[in-house]
Structure 1
Amino acid sequence: MTELEKGPRGLRRGRGARERILSASQQLFREQGINSTGMDQLCTAAEVSKRTLYQHFPGKDELIAEHLRRFDPEILPEVFDRAELTPRERLLAVFNIHAPLCPFIRAAVEIPDPDHPARAYARDYKQAFAARLTAAAREAGATDPEQLGEQLALLLDGASARSRVLDTDTFATAAAIAVVLIDNAIPRSLVTGSHNVD
């Protein structure tokens, strides 16, 4: 049977069902939230039967966790893996690419159970993100890279939450604060010669 063949009630089934489910979850979770998105709605958007959905994901918890796992599995490689940027520039560049931060905050806010698989994944992601910031801070020569990494992670999360609540872009302000934090954390001799990222 091919991906485009129809199952009962005209719903599509086949190899692409899992990807359609995940694609639908990304759109619906982003637009209306995790808790407001029902399984029937996901089935309709993904054009799959409930049976097909549950064959791929035993429950909504597993779907939410997989949604987060796929969102940014490598922790912003488009910033942290760019060899042409100095470590200082990488620290500032994260403020230009802020979308991956929002789904993890949303999941943590919407799901109160600390043992929920999505909460555990959001926690792991946030810790790994701070660790990447810390590593870049260490490469940049920060006197206390752990502190700078945590400060920048907190600043990014705060900007992300504030942007979400106020429906406005707060990342330019956060980036300006980051410049001050970074310059205060890196000895003057190491800052000289580096240039800011817009």
Structure 2
Amino acid sequence: MTELEKGPKGQRRGRGARERILSASQQLFREQGINGTGMDQLCAVAEVSKRTAYQHFGGKDELVAEYLRRFDPSVLSYVLDRTDLTPRQRLLAVFDIPPTTPLCPYINAAVELNDPQHPASQYARDYKKAVAARLADTAREAGAADPEQLGEQLALLLDGAAARTRVLNADTFPTATAIAAVLIDNAIPATHDDDR
């Protein structure tokens, strides 16, 4: 093996390099932010050369977009696909988030990048729209009179609670859950009381 085939720590490159880069990006972007993480540091943590990093990702923009794609490709399936809960209960369970959960990576990326044309910004927008659509589908299943409106309201409330929790360093999700319950009660006709 020549020196060119070795990474910065003398380890053989190639196998698993992409996953190491993505793993390092998840760690560093969460801890330091996207703008606070340089490619040199990311490559050092991933134990790859910059050349290897750029072979897997055309640049940092592409890496940031892939980093976001990895978070929740199934859009809240861990809650909204549960069969042990009624649709109404699933809508409320979305707000059952531990206060130690980091701020939404999609919000972080959109704020940090501040460029609506950035590939990660587009992915963040698409994901947020998918969350509202998924909530609307569950609201429809619960019998909401206007499921799209309820989906948008709950998505906005979810993002607001996440941001407020982060800014205040205090758990605001119990309050958000109470507000969500009122929104859900107002949107779902009384004939669906059995879903409660």
Q: Distance in 1 between matches of 2:12 and 2:162?
A: 37
Aligned residue for 1:194?
A: 195
Aligned residue for 2:139?
A: 137
Deviation at 1:163, TM superposition (A): 1.3
Aligned residue for 1:68?
A: 68
The structure 2 residue matched to 1:157, chosen from 156, 159, 166, is 159
Deviation at 1:114, TM superposition (A): 0.7
Q: How does 1:7-18 map to 2 (within 5 A)?
A: 7-18=7-18
8 Å contact kept, 1:24–1:42: yes
Deviation at 1:93, TM superposition (A): 1.1
Show structure 1 runs of 4+ deviating over 6 A. Answer: none
Deviations 1:58-103 (CA, angstroms, capped at 9, x unpaired): 1000000000001111101111211222111111111124758700
The structure 2 residue matched to 1:183, chosen from 174, 182, 185, is 185
TM-score, normalized by length of structure 2?
Answer: 0.91
Deviation at 1:51, TM superposition (A): 0.8
Q: Distance in 2 between matches of 1:177 and 1:147?
A: 15
Aligned residue for 2:128?
A: 126
Q: Distance in 2 between matches of 1:164 and 1:110?
A: 15
Q: Distance in 1 between matches of 2:94 and 2:17?
A: 33
- Structure 2 counterpart of 1:105, one-letter code: I
- Structure 2 counterpart of 1:86, one-letter code: T
- Structure 1 counterpart of 2:165, one-letter code: S
Aligned residue for 1:79?
A: 79
Q: Distance in 1 between matches of 2:39 and 2:131?
A: 30
8 Å contact kept, 1:155–1:174: yes
Instruction: Give the direction of change, closer, same or farther, for the CA distance of 1:65–1:100 in structure 2 (3 Å limit).
Output: farther
Secondary structure at the residue paired with 2:94? helix
8 Å contact kept, 2:7–2:47: no
Q: Percent identity?
A: 75
Structure 1: gaps spanning 5 or more residues: none
Deviation at 1:13, TM superposition (A): 1.5
- Structure 1 counterpart of 2:154, one-letter code: L
TM-score, normalized by length of structure 1?
Answer: 0.90
Task: Note if 1:36 corresponds to 2:31.
Answer: no
Q: Distance in 1 between matches of 2:28 and 2:7?
A: 23
Secondary structure at the residue paired with 1:193? helix
Deviation at 1:9, TM superposition (A): 4.1
The alignment yields a C-alpha RMSD, in angstroms, of 1.8
